[in-house]
């Protein structure tokens, strides 16, 4: 069990009725009692006499926090009304009723703003800090129910009565207790910030009710409303069922997250391993004065691109694809697609053309002979040939590239212009 100073670590977010987390300083004043001074077997009144019936106690509202019986919890307080209550309690028997507010953001909670079921607790330690706030270590004793409020100023005072849980010593309760222990062990193993000592503490608990409250206190992902519902359940069996369901759901989420993380790490490890092996292979080949098949192909394609005479835009795209090819392993699916594309680019007759007489009437006759209708396409091809005839100095243009052309009409254009057509392999993608 952590010491009070460890629990009061200023870096921790301690929830209390004030909702504030003031920093503890070295000059803080601490008031301490031994846990044995207020045990869990009896809840004493102001005169120290044991009492099992209704009693009047100060009520300390908590923001977003539920204190369970049989647990020790750190709290922080800063509101003037709460500080006055604490001073009053510390001068008496240090017993107070702790109940959670319905709205954690509300200031100055009244009788209608708190839940009717809470916990009688003893303040074991109080530490004042220079900013005027206090830090407390409280020990929950018994579950209580508020019967009615008798005062609201200077702080809430209510008549409360014990509300002990129903304990069923049945086989079902024993089975639920064992299952809770098993689930909690698995949960601790998956959550990094939960120490293994919690499992040891849980295994040493004999009472099912105590086990429920010990486990629930350390379930950091359990919302305050869920904790309150757990506290309000009257039967220990019902508490165990609810706790088992919550832990099982948390385990399902955590184990799925762990599996996803493991799959991602495995995939990253595989990629890193392949990269490492490829780099090793390159280093070995370099030492032996050999080059890999990929490097040889990249070198050959780079030479073909440089010698192809293709326009700058096409050459820039070809070199970009060549760089991608050099980074891919030959077994990659995209490797063959890129290589086929580059082979196609480098074999195009970028700087070659054939000359011939362009006869416009003959071209019209050939187009009409080979194709029915398609007048707009034919006119476009004839316009292109007419311009081509006027600008003979523009060499290397293919009539089939005329805008508005089609595959079938493109095959007639070379014949109409008395030129030789060049057929290329289509790209692989």
Retrieve residue 206's tokens: 């004999």
**Widest CA span in the chain:** 125
Same domain, 314 and 187: no
Q: Band of the pLDDT at 285, cuts 50, 70, 90?
A: low
CA-CA-CA-CA dihedral for 158, 98, 38, 11, to nearest 10? -150
Residue 409 has pLDDT above 60, yes or no: no
Q: Which residue has the higher pLDDT, 354 or 381?
A: 381
* CA of residue 109 relative to chain centroid, distance: 36
Residue 353 lies in a domain: no
pLDDT digits (tens, 9 = 90+) for 61-76: 998 889 999 989 999 8
* pTM of the predicted structure, to 2 decimals: 0.53
Same domain, 41 and 146: yes
Same domain, 410 and 298: no
H helix or E strand, kind and range, residue 188: helix 171-190
Boundaries of domain holding 326: 293-347
Q: Which residue has the higher pLDDT, 321 or 48?
A: 321
Same domain, 400 and 261: no
Residue 52 lies in a domain: yes
Residue 429 lies in a domain: no
Q: Decide: 111 and 97 in contact? Cβ < 8 Å.
A: no
pLDDT of 294 reads 72
Domain boundary among the residues 288, 313, 334 is at 288
Residue 88 has pLDDT above 80, yes or no: yes
Q: Residue 123: helix, strand or coil by DSSP?
A: strand
The residue length of the chain stands at 429
Report, as an integer, the average pLDDT of 165-183: 90
Residue 354 lies in a domain: no
Same domain, 140 and 173: no
Burial of 326 per CB tally in 10 Å (0-12, 13-18, 19+): middle
Retrieve residue 138's tokens: 């409280």
* Cα–Cα distance for residue pair 38/40, rounded to 1 Å: 7
Residue 179 has pLDDT above 70, yes or no: yes
Residue 86 lies in a domain: yes
Q: Are strands 55-62 and 95-100 parallel, antiparallel or unpaired?
A: parallel
User: What separation in angstroms does the CA of 255 have from each of 241, 249, 309, 351?
Assistant: 21, 10, 60, 64
Q: Band of the pLDDT at 213, cuts 50, 70, 90?
A: very high
**Phi, psi angle pair for 293, to nearest 5°:** -60, -40
Same domain, 101 and 146: yes
User: What separation in angstroms does the CA of 142 have from each of 286, 324, 325, 417?
Assistant: 78, 71, 73, 104
pLDDT of 115 reads 92
Domain boundary among the residues 132, 162, 192 is at 162
Residue 422 lies in a domain: no
Residue 210 has pLDDT above 80, yes or no: yes
Q: Which residue has the higher pLDDT, 23 or 31?
A: 31
Residue 169 has pLDDT above 80, yes or no: yes
pLDDT of 416 reads 52
As a whole number of Å, the CA-based R_g of the chain is 42
H helix or E strand, kind and range, residue 145: strand 134-151
Q: Band of the pLDDT at 330, cuts 50, 70, 90?
A: confident
* CA of residue 66 relative to chain centroid, distance: 27
Same domain, 148 and 15: yes
Report, as an integer, the average pLDDT of 183-188: 90
Same domain, 180 and 278: yes
pLDDT of 378 reads 84
pLDDT of 402 reads 43
CATH number at residue 126: 2.30.130.40
Domain boundary among the residues 263, 288, 313 is at 288
CATH number at residue 249: 1.20.58.1480
Q: Band of the pLDDT at 290, cuts 50, 70, 90?
A: low
Q: Decide: 38 and 93 in contact? Cβ < 8 Å.
A: yes
End-to-end CA distance of the chain: 67
User: What separation in angstroms does the CA of 151 have from each of 106, 109, 158, 374, 391?
Assistant: 19, 13, 7, 99, 106
Q: Which residue has the higher pLDDT, 285 or 146?
A: 146
Residue 297 lies in a domain: yes
Burial of 179 per CB tally in 10 Å (0-12, 13-18, 19+): middle
pLDDT of 327 reads 77
pLDDT of 392 reads 61
Using alpha carbons, select from 212, 204, 154, 222 the residue that is nearest to residue 15.
222
Residue 423 lies in a domain: no
Same domain, 117 and 89: yes
Same domain, 264 and 302: no
pLDDT of 351 reads 79
Residue 331 has pLDDT above 90, yes or no: no
* Cα–Cα distance for residue pair 67/229, rounded to 1 Å: 12
Same domain, 158 and 169: no
Q: Decide: 388 and 399 in contact? Cβ < 8 Å.
A: yes
Q: 122-131, 213-222, 362-371: lowest mean pLDDT where?
A: 362-371
Same domain, 67 and 91: yes
Q: How many separate domains does the chain show?
A: 4
Q: Band of the pLDDT at 308, cuts 50, 70, 90?
A: confident
């Amino acid at each position: 069990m952590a010491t009070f100073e460890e629990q009061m670590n200023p870096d921790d977010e301690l929830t209390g009725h004030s909702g504030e987390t003031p920093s503890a300083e070295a000059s803080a004043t601490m008031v301490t009692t031994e846990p044995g001074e207020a045990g869990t077997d009896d809840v004493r009144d102001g005169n120290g006499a044991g009492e099992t019936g209704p009693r009047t106690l100060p009520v300390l509202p908590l923001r977003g926090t539920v204190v369970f019986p049989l647990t020790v919890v750190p709290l922080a307080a800063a509101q003037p009304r709460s500080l006055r209550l604490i001073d009053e309690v510390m001068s008496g028997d240090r017993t107070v009723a702790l109940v959670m507010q319905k709205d954690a953001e509300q200031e100055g909670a009244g009788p209608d703003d708190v839940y009717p079921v809470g916990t009688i607790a003893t303040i074991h330690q109080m530490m004042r800090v220079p900013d005027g706030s206090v830090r407390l270590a409280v020990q929950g004793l018994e579950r209580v129910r508020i019967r009615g409020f008798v005062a609201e100023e200077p702080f809430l005072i209510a008549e409360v009565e014990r509300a002990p849980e129903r304990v069923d010593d049945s086989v079902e309760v024993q089975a639920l207790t064992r299952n809770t222990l098993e689930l909690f062990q698995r949960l601790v193993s998956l959550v990094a910030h939960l120490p293994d000592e919690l499992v040891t503490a849980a295994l040493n608990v004999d009472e099912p009710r105590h086990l429920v409250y010990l486990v629930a206190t350390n379930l950091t992902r359990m919302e305050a409303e869920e904790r309150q519902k757990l506290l309000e359940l009257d039967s220990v069996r019902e508490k165990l069922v609810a706790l088992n369901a919550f832990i099982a759901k948390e385990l399902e989420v955590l184990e799925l997250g762990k599996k996803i993380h493991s799959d991602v790490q495995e995939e990253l490890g595989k990629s890193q391993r392949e990269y490492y092996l490829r780099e090793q292979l390159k280093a070995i080949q370099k030492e032996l004065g050999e080059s890999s098949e990929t490097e040889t192909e990249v070198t050959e394609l780079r030479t073909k691109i440089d010698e192809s005479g293709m326009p700058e835009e096409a050459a820039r795209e070809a070199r970009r694809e060549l760089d991608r090819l050099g980074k891919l392993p030959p077994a990659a699916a995209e490797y063959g697609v890129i290589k086929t594309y580059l082979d196609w680019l480098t074999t195009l007759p970028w700087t070659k053309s054939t000359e011939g007489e362009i006869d416009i009437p003959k071209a019209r006759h050939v187009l009409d002979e080979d194709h029915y209708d398609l007048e707009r396409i034919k006119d476009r091809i004839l316009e292109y040939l007419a311009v081509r005839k006027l600008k003979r100095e523009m060499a290397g243009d293919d009539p089939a590239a005329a805008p508005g052309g089609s595959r079938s009409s493109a095959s007639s254009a070379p014949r109409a212009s008395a030129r030789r057509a060049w057929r290329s392999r289509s790209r692989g993608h």
